[in-house]
Amino acid sequence: MNARGALGRYGEDLAVRLLTGAGMSVLERNWRCRAGEIDIVAMDGDALVVCEVKTRRKGAFEHPMAAVGPAKADRLRRLAALWLERHGGPPPGGVRIDLVGVVLPERGAPLAEHVRGVA
According to the model, what pLDDT value does residue 7 have?
A: 83
Instruction: Quote the DSSP letter at residue 91.
Output: -
pLDDT of res. 1: 67
* CA dist., res. 53 & res. 112, Å (int): 10
Q: Which pLDDT score is estimated for 100?
A: 96
Residue 60: predicted pLDDT: 60
C-alpha dist (Å) from residue 17 to 25, 82, 83, 98, 113: 10, 26, 22, 15, 12
What does pTM read for this prediction?
A: 0.91
- What is the per-residue pLDDT across 37-92, written as a single tens digit (0 to 9) for each? 999 999 999 999 999 999 988 776 667 777 788 898 999 999 999 999 999 999 99
Domains in the chain: how many in total?
A: 1
CATH code of the domain covering residue 68: 3.40.1350.10
98-109: pLDDT as tens digits: 999 999 888 889
Q: Using 50, 70 and 90 to split pLDDT, how confident is the model at 26?
A: very high
- Domain range for residue 89? 3-115
